[in-house]
Structures are given as structure tokens and as C-alpha cells.
Amino acid sequence: MPDLTPEAKKIVQDTWAPVAANTKHFGVLLFLKYFKEYSWCRYFKQYPRVPVVDTSRSTPLSQLYFKEYPRIQGYFTHFKGKSLEELKDSAKLRAHGTTVLHAVTAMVENLDDPDTMVVLLNNTAERHTPRSVTFPEYEDLFKCIADFLAEQLGDKFDDKAKAAWGIVLDTMATVIKAQLDKQ
């Protein structure tokens, strides 16, 4: 991992630990934030940013987003036809969010093994290519992860943490882009 010192690796691991300890909860919050502020929604009217640490506020905003822009919900086939109430407590959203956070956990656990990180990231890119996920969606997800960590961790996500995560997420983006360019 380029320019990631042992101290920076520890910072990444320490800042990820609270998220990894509750992937089901944080996975839902991450994806609600992603749907509301990133990726496909960048082409549409943006809602004001609200910290997702307050789960009572994040769910209604995601519902409002899907109500305002129902086609966004359609990008995820398992959300099609679901009411906003069903989606709010969707086991599919919990499962997908958990899966994504487990993938990030695997990256964090393999900071000392870049070859394994590359294989994991290449596998992710290959699995998502048939779903027409393009590089900008990955870029937005990585930006969302950084913002999400800042919101969830508050002062614990200091400048050193931002810099360390910046290196990790930039590296992940570089590997994903290289794999997508091969396909």
C-alpha cells in the first residue's frame, strides 16, 4: 500500500473497528446515505446533508428520496415494488450493506497484504460489471465511506485518519479502475 505507514494502518484499523463491530446497522446507514447523497443522485436535486448518526432522521430522508426519485430505487432489483415502509426495514438492504462493509473489513484486514487486496477488489469489480456499475459509482461510494466515517466518528476522524483513509480509498479506486479498464 503506497505511503501507508504502520501508524496510518493502525489508524485505519482503529477507526474501522466500531463500524466492523456492527455491520448490519452501519451498512444500512451507509447505503441510505449513498442513495441520498451520492452516485446516481448527483444527476438530480440534492437534499441537504443530515448526519446519519441520528437513525430516526436518516430513514425518513431516504424514504423521501425514493419517493421523490423512484427510479433510483429501481437500480436495485430487490427494492423494486417495495413500499417505503418495507424498504426502511428491508432485510435485503441490511444484507447488502453488511456484505459491502464486510468487503471493506477485508480490505482493512489485508492492509499488509496488497496482493490479496487486489484480488478481492478485482473480484468485486468483476461481480458488479454485469450490473452496469461503472467507475463513477465506485468513486462516489468511496467518497461516501469517507464522509460516513467522518460523521459517525466525529472528532476521532481527525486529519491523520482522513489522510490514512484517503490513501486506502484512493488505492482501492485505482485497483478497481484498472480492473474495469481491462474488461
What pTM, to 2 d.p., does this model score?
0.77
Decide if 98 contacts 24 (C-beta within 8 A).
yes
6-182, superfamily in CATH? Globins (1.10.490.10)
pLDDT in 10s for each residue of the chain, 183 residues = 667 899 999 999 999 999 999 998 888 778 777 776 764 444 333 333 333 333 343 433 344 334 443 444 555 777 666 655 566 688 887 888 889 899 999 999 999 999 999 999 999 999 988 877 788 878 878 888 898 899 899 999 999 999 999 999 999 999 999 999 998
For residue 40, the surrounding DSSP H or E stretch is: none
By CB atoms closer than 10 A (0-12, 13-18, 19+), residue 131 is: exposed
CA dihedral for 11, 12, 13, 16, sign (positive or negative): positive
